[in-house]
């Protein structure tokens, strides 16, 4: 293993180089831009043998991805925030047409007010699209997740696209050591994509994406839900195969010192690294605190999360997103699917930095919960 | 763990400096992390960048509020930003300046005319590698050999050569 110091954006571009997509339509947007720049360079230098399409918008980027995927080739794109919002129409179409696209999303707040900084409202707002969603904790996981995602998405039992989400700036622009896997090993783990069913080929004419009357639409959507359920077993298998090959194991959730914990925090993405430091600190002071990090958000790992938290007296769920009148979406999902009292916390919107003191405040408030979701880190107490 | 905060303006290379320092520390066998905080994305706007260096893997992902070291690329920022904010007791500031700098709360201040060196050797007022050379000389937290190696990997041709020369000059001056 040779570690190299790089940003998550570069790590994602390295993963794409190894995954060898044939078509890469990308439109740059902060903080995703360096992904598009690395990929443009790799294609220009001949390191990736792909068509790099400089599209005029994100709507075109995902449309080109869908069209190319429809011809049965592997594709990649990346976006962020307003770009993902502009893709919204085709995001649903891509899932419905069962195109195994892998896309990176550099998580960034949605306008207005205009912000280039991190939260997870952009991808969370696409949660019902039929895409699988992975929230990476660091650059290594972002790289590994791109490779695993192709294998899961392209599995004929699944055929749903995947969004690999990385926190804008906090990951996309942070450099730290990353292991870039060996090309030969990746080729064995992730061979070329060979579609079996619906793809466009002049020798075998067919239509994709046709009009569907009320006799068929529900079945098509139901098939997607069945595929999303089936994806769970595929994700487990692929994760195990990845671990066997590369030595890094990723489950639906990561349990950090949660087994005997009285108080468990649940969160997604890079904030979990800071939480782990706080958990260690509080453990040294004798507080039995733990973390459950949700890595796979769709399909939603109900059993895994419930198993991990059912023994705890207090559970606090941290969201970098907000649904009006409801609270954080992860919090809401957990409360609706599990028999558990969980306090909800909103943090880090629009790049508000999350310090250890905020995490300690959340632990304190989780142990003395209130009914309403609480906003942590507001300049004025407006709750 | 040591934590370093860089203050610069957009386009001056503070972010690159933070990354070069991280990579050089990694070359020395340490773990590292470097990241920027942009105010607004345009040339001239105040920018911060951060580097963390430790003997074990670094997890935390928030900004540096209590740095061991502060590096200031542009003394004009002293009027705009509190570059001394939160610096640890016994902390150390390395600042590119020709002027007197008012010392607040017992922080050690190391002044270097990096712009002069830059204009002399590089021909342009880009001071980031020069301040890194000074940082290595003042703090000993990174070796000049690793720093030179990473400068050579980051830039190419005569630009790399000149940056190495300038960094080495600042290093030697700081060591004295």
Amino acid B103: pLDDT: 67
A168 shares a domain with A58: yes
CA distance A150 to chain B (A): 27
Rg of chain B in Å (alpha carbons): 15
A242 shares a domain with A260: no
A160 shares a domain with A220: yes
Starting at the edge strand that comes first in sequence, how are the strands of the sheet with B31-38 ordered? A3-7, A175-179, B31-38, B46-54, B2-9, B69-72, B92-96, B108-112
Residue A67's nearest CA partner among A25, A129, A130 is: A25
Minimum mean pLDDT among A66-70, A196-200, B54-58, B67-71: which range? A196-200
> Which domain CATH number covers A93?
3.40.50.970
Looking at chain B from residue 46 to 85, which residues have their Cβ under 8 Å from any Cβ of chain A?
A: 57-63, 65
Point out the domain boundary residue: A216, A246, A276.
A246
Please answer yes or no on whether A169 and B36 come within 8 Å at the CB atom: yes
Interior CA angle at A379 toward A116 and B70, to 5°?
A: 65
A380 occurs within a structural domain: no
A347 shares a domain with A228: no
A353-362 pLDDT, tens digit each: 999 999 999 9
**Residue extents of the structural domains in chain B:** 2-175
A67 occurs within a structural domain: yes
Amino acid A197: pLDDT: 76
CA distance A131 to chain B (A): 27
Q: What is the ipTM of this complex?
A: 0.94
A382 occurs within a structural domain: no
A291 shares a domain with A198: no
- The CATH code that applies to domain B2-175 is 3.40.920.10
A381 occurs within a structural domain: no
A166 shares a domain with A35: yes
- State percent of chain B over pLDDT 70: 97
A301 shares a domain with A236: no
A383 occurs within a structural domain: no
A171 occurs within a structural domain: yes
DSSP annotation string for A217-280: HHHHHHHHHHHHHHHHHHHHHHHHHHHHHHS----SEEEES-TT-SEEEEE-STHHHHHHHHHH
A204 shares a domain with A333: no
A70: containing domain? 3-246
Give the total number of structural domains in chain A.
Answer: 2
Cβ contacts of A171 on chain B, cutoff 8 Å:
61
- The two beta strands, A263-267 and A314-319, are parallel
A309 shares a domain with A183: no
Report, as an integer, the average pLDDT of B99-106. Answer: 75
A286 shares a domain with A175: no
Digit-by-digit pLDDT tens for chain A (383 residues) are: 889 999 999 999 999 999 999 999 999 999 999 999 999 999 999 999 999 999 999 999 999 999 999 999 999 999 999 999 999 999 999 999 999 999 999 999 999 999 999 999 999 999 999 999 999 999 999 999 999 999 999 999 999 999 999 999 999 999 999 999 999 999 999 999 999 877 899 999 998 888 999 999 999 999 999 999 999 999 999 999 999 999 999 999 999 999 999 999 999 999 999 999 999 999 999 999 999 999 999 999 999 999 999 999 999 999 999 999 999 999 999 999 999 999 999 999 999 999 999 999 999 999 998 889 999 999 975 54
A120 occurs within a structural domain: yes
Band (pLDDT 50/70/90 cuts) for residue B106 is confident
Point out the domain boundary residue: A204, A226, A246.
A246
Residue A297's nearest CA partner among A223, A372, A231 is: A231
Amino acid B104: pLDDT: 65
Point out the domain boundary residue: A222, A246, A270.
A246
């Amino acid at each position: 293993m040779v570690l190299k110091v790089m940003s998550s954006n570069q790590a994602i571009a390295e993963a794409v180089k190894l995954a060898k997509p044939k078509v890469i339509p990308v439109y740059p947007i902060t903080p995703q831009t360096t992904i598009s720049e690395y990929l443009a360079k790799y294609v220009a230098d001949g390191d990736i043998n792909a068509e790099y399409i400089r599209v005029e918008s994100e709507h075109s980027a995902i449309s080109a991805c869908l069209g190319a995927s429809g011809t049965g080739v592997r594709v990649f794109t990346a976006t962020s925030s307003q770009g993902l919002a502009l893709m919204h129409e085709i995001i649903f179409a891509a899932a419905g047409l069962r195109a195994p696209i892998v896309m990176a999303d550099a998580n960034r707040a949605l306008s207005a007010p205009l912000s280039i900084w991190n939260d997870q409202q952009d991808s969370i707002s696409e949660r019902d699209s039929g895409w699988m969603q992975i929230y990476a904790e660091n650059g290594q996981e972002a790289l590994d997740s791109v490779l695993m995602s192709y294998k899961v998405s392209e599995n004929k039992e699944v055929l749903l696209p995947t969004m690999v989400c990385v926190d804008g700036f906090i990951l996309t622009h942070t450099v730290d050591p990353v292991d870039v896997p060996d090309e030969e090993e990746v080729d064995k783990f992730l061979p070329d994509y060979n579609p079996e069913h619906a793809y466009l080929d002049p020798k075998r004419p067919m239509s994709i994406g046709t009009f569907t009357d009320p006799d068929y639409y529900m079945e098509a959507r139901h098939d997607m839900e069945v595929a999303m359920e089936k994806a769970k077993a595929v994700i487990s298998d692929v994760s195990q195969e990845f671990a066997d090959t590369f030595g890094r194991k990723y489950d639906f959730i990561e349990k950090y010192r949660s087994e005997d914990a009285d108080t468990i925090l649940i969160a997604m993405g890079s904030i979990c690294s800071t939480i782990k430091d706080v958990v260690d600190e509080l453990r040294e002071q004798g507080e039995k605190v733990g973390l459950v990090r949700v890595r796979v958000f769709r399909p939603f790992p109900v059993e895994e999360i419930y198993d991990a938290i059912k023994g705890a007296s207090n559970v606090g769920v941290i969201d970098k997103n907000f649904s009006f009148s409801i609270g954080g979406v992860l919090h809401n999902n957990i409360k609706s699917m599990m028999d558990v009292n969980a306090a909800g916390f909103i943090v880090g919107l629009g790049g508000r930095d999350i310090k250890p003191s905020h995490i300690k405040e959340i632990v304190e408030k989780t142990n003395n919960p209130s009914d309403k979701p609480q906003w942590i880190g507001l300049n004025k107490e407006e709750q | 763990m040591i934590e370093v905060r860089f203050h610069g303006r957009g386009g001056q290379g503070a972010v690159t400096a933070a990354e070069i320092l991280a990579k050089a520390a990694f070359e020395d066998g340490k773990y590292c992390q470097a990241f920027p905080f942009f105010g607004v994305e345009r040339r001239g706007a105040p920018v911060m960048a951060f580097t963390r260096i430790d003997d074990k893997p670094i997890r935390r992902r928030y900004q540096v509020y209590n740095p061991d070291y502060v590096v200031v690329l542009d003394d004009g920022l002293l009027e705009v930003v509190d570059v001394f904010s939160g610096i640890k007791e016994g902390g150390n500031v390395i600042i590119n300046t020709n002027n007197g700098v008012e010392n607040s709360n017992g922080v050690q201040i190391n002044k270097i005319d990096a712009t002069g060196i830059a204009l002399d050797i590089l021909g342009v007022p880009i001071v980031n590698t020069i301040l890194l050379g000074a940082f290595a000389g003042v703090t000993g937290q990174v070796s000049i050999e690793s720093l030179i190696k990473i400068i050579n990997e980051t830039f190419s041709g005569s630009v790399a050569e000149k940056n190495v020369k300038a960094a080495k000059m600042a290093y030697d001056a700081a060591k004295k």
